[in-house]
């Protein structure tokens, strides 16, 4: 949640007990800085040792300058990591974004190393630079994975968690509370709502109640041990917001303002000054240029590699389906792709022959509402088909859809034409990206996710798309397949 809201820290004269997690997080940030210093120093020495071991084979000059220069620019490298946000723990909750930032910091550090050697007129062995980059990125990445695991365990036990009050009780406030609950790595726990529109004790979200009016923000936060008040501006008038800011000054309680666009990626949002008024400018979603080319290249190369690796599994699957009932092994279904273009999605057949004609007989078993058709124990699914669905093997033929450009490895799930006809205008935004075999919806629970929530996840993916986000979802896909969560 902290990566989705802009925070203003009030002058602290006395920190309430609810904000001790902030001090713990600062200690973790200092630990990361010290860890990176150790990683850079160890990597420079290890790169020297590896380079020296390869020296006779590659007939390169022995080391003269590399290690001293690397150690000399170490403070500058740490400063570059800091500038890239590598020590802000909230980015650990941003999936692949943390890797993108750290990779950028690694490149920046190598540039600093190169400029320093150029200024001092000292040469660096290229093999040393390559080894150093790989070691720093690998070891520093593992360090962050370890810290992320540690934070997740602590949060699961209720430790290192900042208690939060939300000023407001409307739809935006509820969405904020839901986002805080879902972001288990963020370290924020909503304990109450502040509003003038409902009585104290009124339940707003799950078992979280109204704890007081807006004017009691400082008193309520101090009494409940909350370390932060998050404002939902759609339910807090501007004049009241000013009073709220004044009341929290000097209390040691953080104040955060969550704009209505809190689901938009922070890298798309910039603060601009318009007539002395701070304005949030949201950049346009652009999946084009070099990034789009890179995504397409990854799709092509990835689908070819997976087809080459998995063709024995696919051949065996086709043979078993054919032997089971003598019907065709493949099943084609019209789906809607990017910009509303229809295409034929390919899957291994998991239902009995003529299953489409029998759909009306099982419509009363539908568990997904009007927009989707999902039946947990669909009687039309064959025995082997159930196995294929549980392990997502039935999706493998879609690698061909990816190869020819109709789909992507990662993206929103392609809907049926009859589903699209029921879409609201805001739901049509799902069609702005090329559909994928896997995506944010699939790794979040697949069939267990309600339709509106699934659309929200797909829209979040489209609005926040990046290659690092795709990498994060690819890793999560492996976990989702192995755990078989929501697969039926």
Q: Is 435 helix (H, G, I), strand (E, B) or coil?
A: coil
> Regarding predicted confidence, which is higher, 461 or 184?
461
Please give the pLDDT value at position 468. 77
Mean pLDDT within 306-335: 94
Q: Which residue has the tokens 């974004």?
A: 97
In the numeric block, the tokens 């150790």 are attached to: 38
- 145 touches 138 (CB < 8 A): no
State residue 177's pLDDT score: 83
Q: Of 460, 83, 111, whose CA–CA distance to 262 is shortest?
A: 460
Write the pLDDT tens digit of every residue in 367-422.
555 556 566 667 788 999 999 998 999 999 999 999 999 999 999 999 999 989 98
Confidence label for 56 from pLDDT (cuts 50, 70 and 90): very low
Band of pLDDT at residue 251, cut at 50, 70 and 90: confident
Phi/psi at 337 (nearest 5 deg)?
-105, -150
Distance CA 37, CA 31 (A): 10
For the stretch 430-433, contacts whose Cβ atoms lie closer than 8 Å and that sit 24 or more positions apart, written own/partner, are 430/455, 430/458, 430/459, 430/462, 431/336, 431/337, 431/338, 431/339, 431/340, 432/285, 432/338, 432/339, 432/462, 433/287, 433/338, 433/408, 433/461, 433/462, 433/465
State residue 124's pLDDT score.
Answer: 73
Q: 77-135: per-residue pLDDT in tens? A: 999 998 888 887 766 665 556 777 888 889 888 888 888 877 777 777 778 788 888 99
pLDDT of residue 399: 97
Q: Residue 410: which of 365, 351, 474, 466 has the closest Cα?
A: 474
What's the mean per-residue pLDDT of the chain? 80
Beta bridge partners of 335: 343
Please give the DSSP secondary-structure letter assigned to residue 408: E
Mean pLDDT in residue range 259-285: 59
CA 347 from centroid of its chain's CA atoms: 28
State the pLDDT at residue 388. 94
Residue pLDDT, tens place only, 424-438: 888 898 898 999 999
Neighbouring residues of 364: CB distance < 8 A, sequence distance ≥ 6: none
Bridge partners, 8 (sequence order): 255
The Cα–Cα gap between 340 and 337 comes to: 5
The residue written with tokens 């936060």 in the block is: 221
Find the angle CA(243)-CA(245)-CA(246) to the nearest 5 degrees: 65
Q: Is the dihedral of CA 13, 17, 21, 24 positive or negative?
A: positive
Q: How many CB atoms lie within 10 A of CB 109?
A: 25
CATH superfamily, domain at 161-282: NAD(P)-binding Rossmann-like Domain (3.40.50.720)
pLDDT of residue 231: 85
Gap between the Cα atoms of 371 and 418, Å rounded = 8
CA torsion sign for 308, 310, 314, 316 is positive
Which of the four pLDDT bands, split at 50, 70 and 90, describes residue 338? very high
Query: In which band, very low, low, confident or very high, does the pLDDT at 257 lie, cut at 50, 70 and 90?
Result: confident
Q: What is the pLDDT of residue 284?
A: 59
Pinpoint the residues of the chain covered by CATH 3.40.50.720. 161-282
Convert the pLDDT of each residue in 305-318 to its tens digit: 999 999 999 999 99
Q: Over 80: is that where the pLDDT of 205 sits?
A: yes
CA distance 228 to 165: 6
Contact 256, 221 (CB under 8 A): no
Range scoring the smallest mean pLDDT among 30-34, 95-99, 189-193, 448-452:
95-99
Helix ranges restricted to H, 206-253: 217-224, 238-248
**Percentage of residues in the chain with pLDDT exceeding 90?**
24
Taking residue 384's Cβ as centre, other Cβ atoms within 10 Å add up to 18
Q: What is the pLDDT of residue 461?
A: 87
pTM of the model: 0.57
> What is the structure's pLDDT at 366?
56
């Amino acid at each position: 949640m902290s990566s989705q809201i802009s925070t203003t820290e009030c002058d602290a004269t006395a920190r309430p007990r609810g904000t001790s997690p902030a001090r713990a997080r600062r200690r973790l940030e200092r630990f990361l800085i010290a860890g990176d210093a150790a990683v850079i120093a160890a990597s420079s020495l290890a790169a020297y040792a590896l380079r020296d071991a390869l020296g006779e084979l590659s007939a390169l000059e022995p080391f003269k300058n590399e290690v001293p220069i690397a150690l000399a620019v170490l403070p500058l490298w740490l400063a570059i990591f800091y500038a890239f946000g590598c020590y802000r723990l909230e980015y650990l909750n941003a999936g692949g974004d943390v890797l993108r930032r750290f990779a950028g910091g690694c490149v920046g550090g190598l540039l600093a190393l190169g400029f320093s050697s150029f200024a001092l007129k000292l040469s660096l062995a290229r093999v040393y630079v390559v080894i150093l980059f790989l070691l720093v990125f690998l070891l520093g990445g593992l360090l962050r994975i370890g810290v992320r695991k540690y934070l997740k365990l602590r949060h699961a036990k209720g430790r290192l968690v900042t208690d939060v009050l939300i000023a407001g009780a409307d739809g935006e406030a509820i969405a904020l509370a839901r986002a805080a609950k879902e972001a288990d790595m963020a370290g924020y726990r909503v304990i109450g709502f502040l509003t003038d529109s409902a009585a104290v004790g009124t339940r707003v979200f799950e078992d979280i109640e109204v704890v007081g009016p807006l004017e009691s923000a400082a008193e309520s936060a101090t009494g409940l041990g909350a370390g932060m008040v998050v404002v939902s501006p759609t339910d807090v008038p501007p004049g009241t917001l000013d009073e709220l800011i004044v009341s929290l000054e000097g209390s040691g309680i953080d104040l955060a303002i969550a704009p209505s666009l809190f689901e938009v990626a922070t890298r798309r949002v910039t603060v601009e000054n318009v007539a002395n008024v701070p304005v949030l400018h949201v950049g346009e979603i652009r999946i084009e240029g070099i990034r789009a080319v890179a995504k397409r290249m990854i799709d092509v190369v990835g689908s070819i590699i997976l087809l080459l690796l998995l063709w024995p599994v696919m051949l065996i699957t086709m043979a078993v389906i054919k032997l089971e009932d003598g019907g065709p092994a493949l099943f084609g279904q019209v789906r809607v792709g990017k910009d509303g273009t229809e295409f034929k999605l390919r899957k291994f057949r998991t239902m009995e022959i003529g299953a489409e004609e029998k759909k009306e007989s099982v419509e009363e078993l539908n568990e997904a509402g009007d927009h989707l058709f999902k039946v947990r124990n669909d009687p039309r699914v064959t025995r082997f088909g159930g196995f294929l669905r549980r392990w997502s093997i039935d999706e493998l033929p879609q690698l061909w859809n990816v190869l020819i450009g109709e789909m992507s490895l990662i993206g929103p799930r392609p809907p049926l034409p009859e589903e699209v006809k029921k879409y609201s205008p805001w739901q049509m935004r799902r069609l702005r990206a090329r559909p994928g075999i896997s995506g944010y919806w699939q790794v979040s629970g697949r069939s267990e996710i309600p339709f509106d929530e699934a659309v929200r996840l797909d829209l979040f993916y489209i609005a926040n798309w990046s290659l690092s986000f795709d990498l994060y979802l690819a890793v999560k896909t492996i976990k989702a397949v192995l755990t078989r969560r929501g697969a039926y």
